[in-house]
Each structure stands twice: as C-alpha cells, then as structure tokens.
Amino acid sequence: MNTSRSRVRTWRCAALAALLTAGGLTAAAPDAQARDERTETPVASTSPVDGVSESVVRVKVPLPASFGARPQACDWLSYLRYRSSGGPDASADADRILVAQPGILEGAGAFDSVARNTVARAAEQGRHIEFWALDRRSNCLEDRTGIASGDQHTAVDYYYRDKQVAGRTFDGFVGNDRLGWMAELGIEQTVRDEYDLLTAELPDQGLRKQKMLCGGHSLGGVITGYFATADFDGDRTTTADAGHRQCAGYFALDTTVSTSLADLSGSIPDDTNLPDIGLGHAAVQRGLDTGVLPRSLSAPVLLNPETMTLLAIAGLGTLQDADGEADLPRYLPSSVNIEATNRFLFSKDTATFLTGSPGVKDFRLTNAAVLGALMDDHSVPLAFLQTSVGFFDGGPIADKNFPAANGSDQQPGLFGTEYKAIPDRPHGPLYTWRDYDRVGDRDDPGHRSADGTPFTSAGKEVTDIRELARSLAELPLDFTEQYFPTKLVTDLQLATSPQVKRLVVHPEGIEANPTLTVLAGDGLLAGRVPPDLNPVVADGYQHLDVLTAAPVQNNGRPEPVSTNLARFARSPQ
C-alpha cells in the first residue's frame, strides 16, 4: 500500500514537472519554416452522407532542432480535409473553412461525422465550406497498418502475433524511453503547429481572417483560446500575425474558448489534476530529459496505446458484421492490461471485478454489443469517452454498480450521470445491440434499473453505432490518440506560471471574434457554462456525441451541432 502511494506521488511530481521551457511562440527555429513538401490523398468512405469529399493532407513542417531525434513522420503535420463535392477544388475559393482542434486522447478521425454533416448541411443552403480536422503532431507515432487491413482477425494478428500486413511487422507500442522529443510538446508548440499549418495552406492573411473559423472539441477549446491570444512574430505591436487575426470566428464543441481548464474539470484523469508545487525550471528540464516524467499520458487500465487501438479493432468487427457473434474477447491474447481493462469495463460489482468471474468471455455478444460495451454512456464509466449509441438487447440486463453504484451521490463527475447497465446471464442468450434509432420502438423491452429508473429513452440516444465504428476503423487518421503529450495538460494546469502566462500576449483575442458555443445536454459542461455565452444545447448528447451524432435524430429533426455550425459558417455573429 505504501509503495503504491509512493508511486502515485512520484507520478504526480513527475507530471507536474512538465513546465514550458525558455523560448516561445515568438521565434520558431529556421528549420521550422521549411514547407517545401505537401501531399493530399483522397479517402474512400462508406459514409451514408452524400456530397462530401474527404482527403488526408500532410504538410512538412519540421520541429526545431532542439526537440532532438524523432521519427521522420513527426516532422509532418496532418489533417483530414472535408469539402463539398460540388464546390471548388482550392481551399482559398471555399466560402468558409472550419479548423478543429481535437480534445484529450482524441485524433482527427473523431470529427468525421460532424465534419460530413456540417459540410453537407451548408451545401443544402448553397454554401461550399470546408472542415479541417487537425491531428496532433504526436499522432505520427501511431501505426494503423493492422486497422487498415479492414479485417479484425488480421488486425489482432498484426498487433499481437507478429504477423505481417502489407509487408510490415508491428514494432510494438512506443515506450517512454523513445519519447524524448515529446518533452517540449506542450501548448506553445501545439498552437505554433496550428499557425504554421494555416499559413502554409492559406498564405494570404487577409483570406485567413475572412474565411477561417477556429475551434475545437473539449480540450480543443482551451487550445483555441491560447491560439487566439498568441503572438507569432515576437513583436506584439504588429497584429497581422496574432492568433485572433487568423480567424473570422470561433466555435466550441462541449467546451469553451478560454485559457483555463476550469470549465473542463473532471474531463481528464484525476492524476493530471495537479497543484502547483513550484518546481524550478532546471529541475523540470532534468526530469524531462532523463525520462522521469512520463511524456505521454497513460494509465494501466483503458487509457494507454494498447486499449486505444483495441477500440478501433472493436470498430472493425462492427463494420464487418455488426449482428454476428463476436469472438474478439477470446481471440485476443491474454495480458495484464487486457484482463484489467475487461474487468474494469465488464464487472457487475466489486466482487466480480476482484474475482474476474463472470468475465466478458463468459457472455455471448454480437460485435456491435462489444463496441457498445466499450463506448456507450450506459456502460463505460469515463464521461469523456461516452457516446449515446443505443442499448443492450437480447437478454436480461442488470445494474452495473462498479466502479460506482447507480444513483450514488458519491459518483465522481468523471463517470458521467447515466445509470450503467450490463448483461446478466453468462453462457446464456446472444446479447445484441439496439441501435440509437430503435430505442423506444414497440419491441423495445424498456429495461429499468433495480430502483425503477429507466436506463434510457429515445431522446437520449443520438449516435449510430455503425457510423461510430466507421469513424473508429475506416479513417487514415485515428479517432483516438495513443500518445497524448503529458506536457500539454500540465502546461494548461499551470496556466498561472510565468512560463505559460507569457504566451497570452493578446488577451483581448478571445473577445475579438464572434463565438459559437455548442454544449452536450448531458455532457461534461452541463449546467456549468455562464449563460452570457448563449450556448446552443444539444439535448440528450454526451461529450463525444457532439462529434458523432447521426444527421437525423429520433425526433425527426436535423442534428443540431452540424446545423448550427453550418449556420455560423454562413454568417458568424
């Protein structure tokens, strides 16, 4: 017990050590300005949303030499470009461009549904807009080869059994000892990357100011706040380079555009919510250089590169055969991480978690039910990973009272507010998945908690599980983020430190442009955003639903997030 607590204290102190080093947004190294290479590759999609073209764009923007050795792929910035198929080929000719920063543990692929829906909605109104879903630089470390095979067994064999795919063998998940270059990958470099990408793709500052709407989801709203207040040329008296002069407006998806994490408290794992203990800069840098600090945010259960990859593998199964009986729990090799994650996500109570019986392998589940168990708000007990994709079907359902009991007023905000449920008959019927648009149908059994509370209703289900699976498994840039820079979070946690405060050069930048704030009605910020922001509230939505919701909702109305984004793109105000 004492050893465990000591390790936690060590982690906290190490994570806190990720302060910004000397230097700033004001002077990128000369090699950071090299933009002599660019690729754009069309992306084939099975999305049912018509009239939207997608491509993956990569622009070479090398890091400063001070970052040290890193893979060549990490000197490129990437994004998914969505545009109207009937619109202009050149971004400069689009009516508007929405540029989106991802949230914590999130990649560009997470924006797929909202990007397509927004572009399509604008096209219906005669406007040809683009949506750029940004990938963080550290996502260069991800190996999508197994997922790109399109076959679940092939993917498992690639990542776990050293089987080759397309002539390539998996090199393993990247450990902290190989992440030294990420030691300085904090808020400073993140907003610099956005600026360098925007200026490379649209060199005319006047066009950027006229056409670009800057925003993001979750943590992406805070990153947008720092971008808006930044100065990029080292001279605060010149403003053409200021962050707020690159945007015609801002948008915030279940977040706020600010330079504070206060609104997002509870949206990130507790071990990153650290107080300022005033470590000196030299000590911090030594910790980063020696690797005492974990440079990538990770945890033994669920939040690590392996389990982030497993979400995409589960998505593959749903894409291949949503209603077929899943063999993924049995096909995966046994490991401490997989076993612990399965117990955490699929235990009815504490006793089940401790004994491991019955476990997920003891239940018959369809592929869609496996994905639902991993991502639905009535199953996964982490609010920032929750979507509203339907409910279990096909057999008896019980309360999932682990890691917190349903209805408990002691339940941490990180777990969300919905009652959790779990299949209740091992070695019994085949548990299926009732998709979002079948909840409330005449054949819906209407499962209830032991205290009589209905687990869900049609108004609380908004995302198509097959479309979620497609976003997880079909795209060249990941939905999730395997290597989230720890420094990015600790920088923002230490916003009052001199090293971070100096980055806010133009604090007026946040109020310089109109802002659209869209909140998930059941999400992380529900009831916590000041009313003077005049937010649009998407009823029944969870934190990820603002990105994944289906274009037509159960009430027959168009999806509100993309509808309001398209309206905002027409005339920001």
Q: What is the mean pLDDT of the chain?
A: 89
Q: Which pLDDT band holds residue 410 (cuts at 50, 70, 90)?
A: low
Q: Is residue 77 part of a domain?
A: yes
Burial class of residue 192, CB neighbours in 10 A (0-12, 13-18, 19+): buried
Residue 372 pLDDT level (bands cut at 50, 70, 90): very high
Judged against a pLDDT cut of 90, whether residue 415 lies above it is answered with: no
pLDDT digits (tens, 9 = 90+) for 37-79: 999 999 999 999 999 999 999 999 999 999 999 999 999 999 9
Which of 84-88, 95-99, 160-164, 529-533 bottoms out in mean pLDDT, i.e. has the lowest? 529-533
CA distance 318 to 11: 37
Mean pLDDT, range 541-548, rounded to an integer: 97
Same structural domain for residues 461 and 359? yes
Which pLDDT score is estimated for 283?
A: 61
Q: Among 519, 506, 487, which residue's Cα sits nearest to residue 256?
A: 519
Q: What is the pLDDT of residue 6?
A: 35
- In one-letter notation, the amino acid at residue 509 is G
Q: Which residues pair with 558 in a beta bridge?
A: 552
Domain annotation covers residue 163: no
154 lies in some domain: no
Residues 53 and 132 in one domain: yes
pLDDT at 27 exceeding the cut of 50 = no
Query: What pLDDT score does 414 carry?
Result: 72
Segment 141-158, tens digit of pLDDT: 999 999 999 999 999 999
Q: Tens digits of per-residue pLDDT, 478-536?
A: 999 999 998 998 888 878 888 889 999 999 999 999 999 999 999 888 777 877 889 99
Residue with tokens 């198509």: 464
Residue with more model confidence, 396 or 414 = 396
Same domain, 115 and 217: yes
- Is residue 373 included in any domain, yes or no? yes
Q: Are residues 414 and 558 in the same domain?
A: no
Residues 517 and 420 in one domain: no
Q: Are residues 112 and 93 in the same domain?
A: yes
pLDDT greater than 90 at residue 89: yes
Q: Domain ends where: 416, 447, 473?
A: 473
Is the whole model's pTM more than 0.85, yes or no?
yes
In a domain, residue 157? The reply is no
The answer to whether residue 34 scores a pLDDT higher than 80 is no
Q: What is the pLDDT of residue 412?
A: 64
* Residue range 229-269, pLDDT digits in tens: 999 999 999 999 999 999 999 999 999 999 988 767 555 55
The verdict on 362 and 448 lying in the same domain is yes
Do 373 and 271 lie in a common domain?
no
Give a yes or no: residue 158 inside a domain. no
Backbone angles phi, psi at 215, to 5 degrees: -170, -160
- Final residue before a domain boundary, out of 415, 444, 473: 473
The verdict on 545 and 465 lying in the same domain is: no
The SS3 of residue 320 is helix
Res 298: pLDDT: 81
**3-state SS string for 60-106:** ECCCCHHHCCCCHHHHEEEEEEEEECCCCCCHHHCCEEEEEECCCCE
Q: Per 3-state DSSP, what percentage of the chain is helix, strand, and coil (rounded to 5)?
A: 40, 15, 45
Is 167 a member of any domain? no
Q: Is the domain of 38 the same as that of 97?
A: yes
Going by pLDDT thresholds of 50, 70 and 90, the confidence category of residue 299 is confident
In a domain, 162, yes or no: no
Q: Could you say which of 444, 473, 502 is where a domain stops?
A: 473
Domain containing 123 — which CATH number?
A: 3.40.50.1820
The tokens describing 402, both together, are 């682990």
Strand residue runs (E) in 475-527: 515-520
DSSP letter for 356, please. -
* Other CB atoms within 10 Å distance of the CB of residue 364: 18
**Tally of domains in the chain:** 2
pLDDT for residue 495: 83
Torsion-angle region of residue 9: left (phi > 0), alpha (psi -120 to 50) or beta? alpha
Model pLDDT, residue 279 = 56
Mean pLDDT of 100-115: 97
Specify whether 509 is located in the same domain as 361. no
Same domain, 457 and 523: no
What is the predicted pLDDT for the residue at 289?
73
Q: What's the domain range around 39? A: 2-140+175-296+486-570
Cis amide linkage into residue 429, ω under 30° from 0: no
